[in-house]
Structure 1
Amino acid sequence: MSRAALLAWAGLALASLFWAGNSLVARAFTGAIPPISLAFWRWATALMILLPLVGPSLWQHRQTLRRAGWRLWVLAGLAIASYNYLLYTAALSTAAINLSLVSTCLPLATFIGAGLLLGEWPARRAWLGLLLALCGLLWLIAQGDWRALASLSFAQGDLLMVVATLDWALYSLLLRRWSAHFQLPPFTLLGALVLLGLLMLSPLYAWELWQGARFELSLPNLAAIGYTALFASVVAYQLWNIGLRELGPARTAMSNYLMPVFTAILGWLLLGEGLQEHHWVGGALIVSGLVLAARAQKS
């Protein structure tokens, strides 16, 4: 494995850690911050962080951005506006375990999409890694008892999470397919996507305010927004985009299986939730599957 690929995998693991923290924040502040407000201020704060870094570069590459045109709007709509709206809204009406279960379709959807849209069919060893990691994730969700999967119930929010997962897979695939149109520094591209996505979120946020939804400007609420803006947005999205460039969408999507592992570890460290046998077994299966996918070469 090349040094660039190794660094890309390390970055994806870090992104999964930050997104696992984002899931904990979203669950903890569901009653304190309305979903669209959290999405809007997450990206507004991220834009304030990015602009001093990428403002001059955005102006310098304005011709490239103009030529990218509608493609940038599509990617921003998928990754910034619709995905976050769907995710935070789904969290209001479904259990966290169901969100994890539905998210298992992301690597599979990306594997198939990479073959159909990009002609990048993963090697057989990568498919084996996908299956192994999927078994590990389901073992975590079932808490070590496969019979528990049959007793799961699904709420209205599960459909929103399905749409959100497919939304993210499509973003990853299109970003890879249109990479020739985005000859930009990575942070410049991210800044452009955040700016356009925030413009699309603004009408939804105005509608939420008109409905009377507000949140208190307390230190915990502001800290939650700050975490989602810096770590779950600026840093994690940048690391994901680098993974797409170095590894392709299929293998990049495999890193999604690390999120429940990190969620369990964070729950143990921050919430005092003990790590059980099924956490260790499921985590080992997921890591083994990722190692197989990482070492697989394109066929």
Structure 2
Amino acid sequence: MNKPPLSVYLKLVCVALFWGGTFIAGRIVSTEIPHMIAATGRFLVACVFLLLLAWRVEGGLPKLTRQQKHATFGLGATGIFLYNICFLAALERMPAGRSALFVSLSPIVTALSMAALFRERLGGLKWLGIAIAFVGATIVLTRGDVFAVVHDISSSMGVGELFMLGAVGSWTAYTILGKHALKGLTPIAATTYASLWGLLLLSMGALNQLPLLDTSKLTWQVISAIIFLGIFGTVIGFVWYYEGVKAIGPARTAVFNNLVPVFGVALSSIMLNEPVLISMVLGGLLVIAGVSLTNRVSSSQST
């Protein structure tokens, strides 16, 4: 196999930065307007730009086969609809930095799911990298009090945390489905169709929430956050993420999600003045070590 170009990895790092920023934008939006309306606004912006991008780069969208319709609907239902419901519900209930740290569980769940469902082989060093990342995630999730959670899990896992676990699960499904949806579809086409399906599902929920919308809450900060979520968190982020899935596989691409909480915590501290705990730093360093080890092993095996 040919070694993937460096640009693939650089784009995945940028994706992690953009998605780290979505937790700040999502925190701003989720505390001001109803979730379904916020998510619909995000993907309305995203779909406009994705359609323009598809037209400019690829001359439009291809006609889907029945299998591709099912696959892209699955992507829209998991990575767009379910993820955004859980994502915004979590951000309404917990700090953006802590919410972002839950993303470190995504590559663990994805890699284990790929191994269980598709018998994808994970070597010893990959298992070690996953284990190190898992230890780091555990320290973060329990705020450094690993043993106390055994006696009282509610001390660390509230409703917000449960919603974030739901977001991790839906993103895992999205990542795995993406491997199959990309067969015969470009990243732009797959992302656009998934976003259109997701927009349709979200719009149905947004209609029911219209009576709850206070238009005075639509400040420039909220509108800017929605635009950021739509363009950087969706259009650029999803397309580059798909390119990673296609070039290096879903399990290895998902490893870069461990960088999302690092950027999320840093941006939350800078922009929202959220505290950075010692457990966040220690856990984050272990997560980065796990990412580095897993990615080094994967890169050497691809040469």
Instruction: Give the TM-score category using the shorter length.
Output: 0.7 to 0.9
Q: Partner residue of 2:218?
A: 217
Q: Partner residue of 1:82?
A: 82
Aligned counterparts, 1:237-276, within 5 A? 237-271=238-272
Structure 1: give runs of 5+ residues left out of the alignment. none
- Going from structure 1 to structure 2, the CA distance change for 1:282 and 1:94 (only over 3 Å counts) comes to closer
C-alpha contact (below 8 Å) 1:30/1:92 kept by paired residues: yes
C-alpha contact (below 8 Å) 2:95/2:274 kept by paired residues: no
C-alpha contact (below 8 Å) 2:13/2:256 kept by paired residues: yes
CA–CA distance in 1 between the matches of 2:123 and 2:130?
A: 11
Of 51-60 and 117-126, the range deviating more from structure 2: 51-60
Are residues 1:155 and 2:158 paired? Answer: yes
Report the TM-score when normalising by structure 1.
Answer: 0.85
Q: Partner residue of 2:227?
A: 226
Structure 2: give runs of 5+ residues left out of the alignment. none
Q: Partner residue of 1:127?
A: 127
Q: Partner residue of 1:171?
A: 174
C-alpha contact (below 8 Å) 1:87/1:160 kept by paired residues: yes
Report the TM-score when normalising by structure 2.
Answer: 0.84
Q: Output the amino acid matched with 2:223.
A: L
Residue by residue over 1:123-149, the C-alpha shift from the partner in whole angstroms, topping out at 9 and shown as x without a partner, is 221111111122233344455554675
Of 128-137 and 93-102, the range deviating more from structure 2: 93-102
Of 134-143 and 28-37, the range deviating more from structure 2: 134-143
CA–CA distance in 2 between the matches of 1:276 and 1:155?
A: 19
Aligned counterparts, 1:91-106, within 5 A? 91-94=91-94, 96=96, 99-100=99-100, 102-106=102-106
The total of aligned residue pairs comes to: 295
Are residues 1:55 and 2:58 paired? Answer: no
- Going from structure 1 to structure 2, the CA distance change for 1:6 and 1:132 (only over 3 Å counts) comes to farther
CA–CA distance in 2 between the matches of 1:78 and 1:196?
A: 10
How far 1:90 sits from its partner (Å)? 2.9
C-alpha contact (below 8 Å) 1:132/1:289 kept by paired residues: yes
C-alpha contact (below 8 Å) 2:100/2:265 kept by paired residues: no
- Going from structure 1 to structure 2, the CA distance change for 1:178 and 1:263 (only over 3 Å counts) comes to closer
Q: Output the amino acid matched with 1:165.
A: V
What's the C-alpha RMSD, in Å, of the aligned pairs?
2.9
Percent identity for Structure 1 against Structure 2: 27
SS at match of 1:61: coil
How far 1:233 sits from its partner (Å)? 0.8
Residue by residue over 1:181-218, the C-alpha shift from the partner in whole angstroms, topping out at 9 and shown as x without a partner, is xx223212211211121112111110111x43344332
SS at match of 2:121: coil
Residue by residue over 1:151-194, the C-alpha shift from the partner in whole angstroms, topping out at 9 and shown as x without a partner, is 734333433332222111111112213433xx223212211211
C-alpha contact (below 8 Å) 1:100/1:141 kept by paired residues: no
CA–CA distance in 1 between the matches of 2:173 and 2:5?
A: 22
- Going from structure 1 to structure 2, the CA distance change for 1:161 and 1:288 (only over 3 Å counts) comes to closer
Q: Partner residue of 2:203?
A: 202
- Going from structure 1 to structure 2, the CA distance change for 1:5 and 1:48 (only over 3 Å counts) comes to same
CA–CA distance in 2 between the matches of 1:271 and 1:158?
A: 19
Q: Output the amino acid matched with 2:55.
A: G
CA–CA distance in 1 between the matches of 2:276 and 2:61?
A: 50
Aligned counterparts, 1:60-71, within 5 A? 61-62=62-63, 64=64, 68-71=68-71
- Going from structure 1 to structure 2, the CA distance change for 1:201 and 1:272 (only over 3 Å counts) comes to closer
CA–CA distance in 2 between the matches of 1:267 and 1:61?
A: 40
